[in-house]
Structure 1
Amino acid sequence: MTPPEQTPRDPMPRVRAADAVWEVVAQAGETGLRSSEIRERQHLTRGQFENGKAHIRDYKAVDEGASFVYDGDVYVVTRDPCRCALALTIRLSSIDKQLRRLHDSICRPLGKDLDADPTLRYLDRQIIAMLDNMAVMRQVGHSPTSRKLEGNAKSK
């Protein structure tokens, strides 16, 4: 049996990948770029692109004083509050689904047995509280399909 091929560690430092991603996305302006365009223009592997995005989100966006957002189609460097709100609601929608799945697949099946473990009971209550907050956001119109957000985007 032959051992699986080992891949060498990615030689591009995260900060360099972040600079490459930021540079090309910032140059694109409010039009933004798809991930494939960013990788192609900067000759980045998928891993380098992901590492670059992580570094941007962890450090570079704050340092540069601009938001780095994905709006469901393209990545953009922006200071537009409406665009940022849309990006947040898209991401929160995904987190909402993940929370529901976690709760429904781990906590709900246990029923009253959940109370046997204080940590699990605490986590269950925290997830329920987060889901309740997400429900309130949907009810007041802050969702990726919100007319409030669409109206703001059209008025820009």
Structure 2
Amino acid sequence: MDFNNFLEDNKEIIKEKWYSIISKTYKDTTGKFFLHNRDKQFSNPVAWTFSKEIPIILDEIIKGKNSEELQLALENIIRIRAVQEFSPSESLFFILNLKSLIKEMLGNSIEDKSTKSAFEEFENKIDALLLVAFDIYISMREKLMDMKINEVKRKYDSFLKRFEKKYGETNDLL
């Protein structure tokens, strides 16, 4: 069996199964909602983003490219997962799920020497993708923390201004 042909021939099934696996990472009611209305950007933006970006990620992995389009698709998904109540490993585990999904779909075909070799190469691509995703995740979390720090600074500055207005200079207090 030619592994790349297998991926190409089963691309739609892989996308749907991968999407389903990702939806199960969300709590019961959210996961059910996640599966539906994914074609509606404004009523379900998270599901819409995933359904839009998963095909791009899968296509780029199959092509073996680390393109700007792949990077952007990953960023769009990870931006969402970075602000949700997931640990870092939970946020990015969806990438590793692709390995087990493909392995499961291959079944006994993975015993074939050429298929096994191609699958190992595919696993390496997924591992590399995970490292890129981790860098993106850290970048998103840093931006989020910077925003929180700036918000605290703004609130503190606003508080000091109101305090000074009411009680005068605060130099003695600091």
TM-score band, normalised by shorter chain: 0.3 to 0.5
TM-score by length of 2: 0.30
Q: Which has the higher contact order (CA 8 A, sep 6+)?
A: 2
The alignment's TM-score, normalised by the length of structure 1, stands at 0.32
Structure (1 or 2) with the larger CA radius of gyration: 2
